[in-house]
Structure 1
Amino acid sequence: MQFLAYILIYPFLWIISILPFKVLYFISDILYVLVYYVIGYRKKTVMYNLRLVFPDKTEKERITISKKFFHHLCDMILESIKSLTISEKEMKKHFTFTNVELIQELEKTDKNIALMCAHYANFEWIFILQTYVKRKGYGVYKRLTNKYFDALVKRIRARYNSYLITTKETIPTLLESKKTGELSISGFVSDQSPKAKKAFHWNDFMGIKVPVHTGAEMLAKRLDMSVVFFGVKKIKRGYYETSFKTLAINANDYKDYEITDMFLKLVEEQILEAPEYYLWTHKRWKHKDKVPAKFQ
């Protein structure tokens, strides 16, 4: 069944991917109407999150953010499909960097680099960074249920010397990479919610105490990696600009969770600047009522 689904769906995805951006966004506009007004995909979750983190905004303001978010979400879906066939030249036109020299300078050291980001704007197009650097890239992701589509996503990333690894594969892969002397850049989307019972650290995120993922920081300390935050800014429809900020050259010089907390503050700044580009469909604050006594 997985293969049947793949051979039936893939041709449509490929056709969509070769369409000009103007046509792509026309389709996105139609998709937005279906997702928001007809299907109502996770509208309750989005509004719950917005009421939680923006109690001072009016309901009208929150609805406006919600609608802008769903429009952006539909754009991202179509942009992800566009990744199937988009050329390197076209990608570089739509996804630019303000200070890629920061990464290039870190490349001159003998340290591996950990990139931390949030589910904000089009963070997935970061793989084009590999055309500006010499190191092999790794991206931590959640494996797709359909193994054929999963393989397809991996092939797309591999075009630019970037390889996807699951959470379980991360430690053994990066340990082996370090052992063999391979220098790499690894990307971590670190704003998702870990299981409350397994969380080592809780802190305020958008004014609400939640469990925080600390895997990127802990791995950076274990493997002596430099840590860099990258923030993506949506300039206009279809155009994004990424900036890098060094969080730690030597991760072990920082107290536990200090790097993670710096990361969260930068994510908050992004959200407050343009909240419509954050992934509000995630239940990021679902554990807010389960704060252990030692973290209260």
Structure 2
Amino acid sequence: MKTDMRIQFAGIELANPVLAASGTFGYGVEFEEIVDLEKIGGFCTKGISREPMAGNAAPRIIETSSGMMNAIGLQNIGVDAYLEQKLPPMRNYPRCAVIVNVFGGCVDDYLEVIRKLNDAQGIAAYEINASCPNTSHGGMVFGTDPGALSELVRGVKEIAVRPVIIKLSPNVTSIPEMARCAEAAGADALSLVNTFVSLSIDIATRKPRIANVTAGLSGPAIKPIALRMAWEAAKSVKIPVIGLGGITSAEDAVEFLIAGSSAVQVGTATYADPRATERIAKGLEHWCTRHHVEKVTDLIGTVDLSKG
């Protein structure tokens, strides 16, 4: 029996539920000679802003125990250059969903990017970055303030012609509260979690190892916490949840699906293995076949919380 790996949520149809996470897969086209793009469900682009952004000063990425810290600062070429240079080649891969991650310093910045993206062909959805911890304004400012998050989501939904996915921050007291806030404001889906605010110090110099001082922690070290948060969000809202955080294997992806995620994103694993997203997508299909899963969607939200 061959497992049906297709999924549909929030008006999006994917060949399988495994996506590459924003900030780890460039604009997609950079991976076309490394990854079979039509063997993955799709990918989220680097955060796209109104104008080009140079990002933070170096050093801005370091390895940690079971993970990494980064403070790239959303370096990107800006929406105009993205639409002209990076999006057109992706139309050669119609089975690979392109989800554009959108970032801004204020609501108007997000809206201006969305307006320009609305006119483009070949985009499946928007992922609204309300959670990046490595910028001085925007990002996490929205994801940790219910009022600001509501304003952002409502503004985007009012003009967006495609499904809107809100990427939530883990750096909050209550993930369910922020998930319900985004849902109430009109979000079509959620993705979580982004990185955890972290700090590393060089004891020889007594200086932070990252020029930005703090950075976002990701990788296998955060997986149990990310899994818990995805589970909490999924049982708190009726809209679909995309889970991410430390996924490096097909079995990790299965955990997130069982916990309630409708799809998953692979991020930091790509730095160690550029083909990680494709490997995990294939591995998930093999796992489902071995375990006689008729449809991959049959796994979603099947965690057994009974005692004994």
TM-score, shorter chain, exceeding 0.5:
no
- Give the number of the structure with larger relative contact order, counting CA–CA contacts within 8 Å between residues 6 or more apart: 1
TM-score interval for Structure 1 and Structure 2 normalised by the shorter chain: 0.3 to 0.5
Q: TM-score, normalised by structure 2?
A: 0.31
Whichever of the two has the greater Rg, that structure is 1
